[in-house]
Structure 1
Amino acid sequence: MNKPFKSLSLLAAAALLLPALANAGSKSIYGDDNRLDYFEASPAMRTLADSVVSLWPSKQVKFEGGEYKLATIGFGDALGLCPGEQFREQPIGAFCSGTLVGEDLIMTAGHCITDAASCADARFVFNFNIDNDGGRARTAVPAKDVYTCKRIVKRDLDRQADGLVNTGIVIIGALLGKQPGPDYAIIQLDRKVEGRKPLPVNRSKDLKAGDKIFVIGHPVGLPLKVAGDASVRNTEPKSFFLTDLDTFGGNSGSAVFNARTNKIEGILVRGGTDFVDSPAGCKVQYKLGQNEGKGEAVTKISIVQKYIPEIGSHKAAAEVRDMAVEQVPPAGEELARKVRF
């Protein structure tokens, strides 16, 4: 356990380190666990992964000795995992994932950044990964890889259940068979991102069931993982499509890519159960057959693409900048963040 948390119980540390996972929507493993560490991925996937970012609460990202130190806790200890569980010995800390889609724009899930205060409190950290076999996760990163939120460009989270009225709306919608709506956020960072390229999105709306896909993000707040060998199950819902991707809470906000084109098809937002209790009294990662379960839901990129500048198009970028936005409070203002685990 890292030094800042020696005085905390594991449960308290987990509550501190994973403030948004409880709201992220659980995910699952389908068939074989296809998650790979950064160093195991193909060169093409590593290039894409370099533009994927992890989201952290500000209290876990401290500037010391000319670099930022990331406060983490062991995955296995925090969740009470059984021995032998995949990635059990790795650290966790990030609460969501995101992707660079403009020179200073991050695309993530709407439930990851809930309002201006949570955006101001978030730190967007690139390069939280394991880049060699037998190596350790990067928990000290240079200042050029850490960014803050300037503003929320656009955000949507349909069917929120905060408060009695909204909860009633959700219940009525469910009784009427209403499907969940969009879940996304576009965040402008405090400055342009150095040394990383915005990733292209598929604007053709031609995704179909059976298409091969993969996801890059931070499941359970782990160092970056690439998960492939997955397919689109159903594209009929208006705002999202269903997949059999191997994902977890913490993957929320991850870009989902078309395996043929390497273009972004959507944003991972929710799914099935993450962990279950074993007879031994510890937890194991929940596994299903490849075609079982309800699947992992991905907000369609067609819902979001008008807020993302086309690569190389200055006109589109200007249109995004001119939109009405939610302003983020000054950095010195006291911010409240709900911690739910």
Structure 2
Amino acid sequence: DSLQIQYPFAEPGTTPTRGIYGTDDRIEVKDAEGYEDFVRATVVMVHKSYLVGDSFFKSRTLRDRLSSQFETDKFARDVKFLDQPTLGTCTGFLIAPDILVTAGHCINSMEEANNYYWVLDYTSESEFVQDKYVKIEPENIFEVERVIASKLDDDTVEDYAVLQLTKKTDRTPYRFRTSGKAIVKHPIYTIGSPTGLPLKFATNAVVKDTIPDNFFVTDIDTFPGNSGGPVFNQNGFIEGIHVRGTTVRDAMGYRTSSYIYDPKCNCVKNVKYTKKQTQYGGGEAQTINQIPYWILYKAIYENLEYAIANNLEDRFYSWYAYNWIFNHWYADDKGRLEIVAIENNNRTALETILELTKEELTDEQSRLILNAALNSDTNETLKFLLDSGLLPDAGEDYTYTLLQTLVMNNKFDMAQLFISYGADINAVTNGGDSLLHLAAQTGNKDMVVSLLKMGLSVNSKNYRKKRPEWTAKKNKHKSLSRYLKKVRKGKITV
């Protein structure tokens, strides 16, 4: 039988088609070929009290930390990274330029968030001065603006936090699953700060179980400090948030993944798990698409908005995988992305989005998009929209038609364009003013003459019984008023 894999990027809610296990497979992130963007989008939580100046953080080596904890300076050969700093407390990852996700037990309130920085590029290549200070460039140090959402509930086994940073990063955020489930027995990876170490890439793991829906079980190599880190599949999109390491039971009782003192060798060793020892099946990850849907909408929208506004074509097409967002209520509420494209003169994005949305646009949506094009003041964009099928008279609930708006704003070229696409030249305002009245109000004789040639009557009266010549005179366009009067009396032929 063939494996049926559910599409991972469908709208949420729709049906779409910690421990070491055996060998320690953690490697330096610099050696994780092909995953550079993921490393750059992974952040580490550091207590603010560690900062010295504007770019150095106090830290100690893993060797010093474990020696103090276990009161020995002997280590088994499988204990790696002993001379690296242990700066981090938790891990997180970017899902938008200024939005990160972590575990709820790392941050569950703004009061907690105020105690920590989140840093980028904390890797084995970071400068570690005198084995005491880690240098992080100031532009890679971030604070939390607000806690967008958080949950830490043992009963429902929910453990996540979504945080907004005080400034945007320049990193490419992770994409994430919005539909379906992680696939049992499929490869899974994580990047994190185990025991506070510089970011490590953990490989050679699989999804073991996906029941219940809100978390899944893996055999990935993680330690305390990995909490909140990204758990992603071989295609690079997030399946979940690492929240719990494995718990095992042996002669020494229950314990989670980390290090252990072994009296046989009088040394510190890694905790290793076998299937027989594993009580709950492995480490656990909070399923990413089980956090509130509106957060996923927000992240998707903001990534597309950022890509469009900054003309990042590759990023735009990457996030286009979530193209259902274009006609989603969230986009209507925050601002149609077609409008974002128009306002930022991003024709490629506009064409791509409109190709998908044009058949489903409502009258109101069409009007909003055309309004944006009017404000951009480019006939080329307007012509493209009209060629794409948007109706020139869209906006039946508006006080003025688009054509009336153009005439009132003295945009003759655009008005002619709309007329050429069939805009209603006979529509009148709530006060009974014809297009000729509106043109007379501006004093634009060329527009007046053009409308007369199209058949509009110089004798037309509004609901106050006033002709266009009166409107011109009232607005101090005396020569135009005299011209209209002569036309009405037959002294001039148009």
More helix by share: 2
Residue deviations 1:77-119 (CA, integer Å, cap 9, x gap): 2122633321111110210000011110010000001321110
Code of the aligned partner of 2:74? C
Within a 5 Å distance, the mapping from 1:1-341 to structure 2 comes to 27-42=18-33, 44-64=34-54, 68-80=55-67, 82-83=74-75, 84=77, 85-131=79-125, 139-159=134-154, 180-193=156-169, 195-259=170-234, 261-272=235-246, 273=256, 274-279=258-263, 280-289=265-274, 293=278, 294-304=281-291, 306=293, 307-308=295-296, 309-310=299-300, 311-312=303-304
Residue deviations 1:298-320 (CA, integer Å, cap 9, x gap): 00011126213113157759979
Local SS of the residue matching 1:113? coil
The CA distance in 2 between the partners of 1:240 and 1:90, in whole Å, is 32
Counterpart position of 2:391: none
Local SS of the residue matching 2:150? strand
Q: Tell me how many residue pairs correspond in the alignment.
A: 268
Residues 149 and 37 of structure 1, relative CA distance in 2, 3 Å threshold: same
Residues 71 and 235 of structure 1, relative CA distance in 2, 3 Å threshold: same
Residues 231 and 62 of structure 1, relative CA distance in 2, 3 Å threshold: same
The CA distance in 2 between the partners of 1:262 and 1:291, in whole Å, is 31
User: Is this contact kept in 1: 2:84–2:124, CA < 8 A?
Assistant: no
Local SS of the residue matching 1:227? strand
Local SS of the residue matching 1:144? helix
Deviation for aligned residue 1:157 = 0.5
Counterpart position of 2:442: none
> Greater relative contact order: 1 or 2 (C-alpha under 8 angstroms, separation 6 or more)?
1
Local SS of the residue matching 1:151? strand
Counterpart position of 1:331: none
Output the TM-score relative to the length of structure 1. Answer: 0.73
Deviation for aligned residue 1:182 = 1.1
User: Is this contact kept in 2: 1:90–1:222, CA < 8 A?
Assistant: yes
User: Is this contact kept in 2: 1:201–1:305, CA < 8 A?
Assistant: no
- Give the gaps of 5 or more residues in structure 1: 1-26, 160-172, 174-179, 321-341
Deviation for aligned residue 1:201 = 0.3
Deviation for aligned residue 1:221 = 0.6
More strand by share: 1
User: Is this contact kept in 2: 1:220–1:250, CA < 8 A?
Assistant: yes
Code of the aligned partner of 1:69? F
The CA distance in 2 between the partners of 1:232 and 1:216, in whole Å, is 16
Superposed CA RMSD:
2.6
Deviation for aligned residue 1:283 = 2.2
Identity across matched positions, percent: 29
The CA distance in 2 between the partners of 1:92 and 1:228, in whole Å, is 21
The CA distance in 1 between the partners of 2:194 and 2:44, in whole Å, is 10
User: Is this contact kept in 1: 2:93–2:230, CA < 8 A?
Assistant: yes
Local SS of the residue matching 2:111? helix
The CA distance in 1 between the partners of 2:270 and 2:103, in whole Å, is 23
User: Is this contact kept in 2: 1:109–1:184, CA < 8 A?
Assistant: yes
Deviation for aligned residue 1:199 = 1.1
Code of the aligned partner of 1:257? F
Structure of larger gyration radius = 2
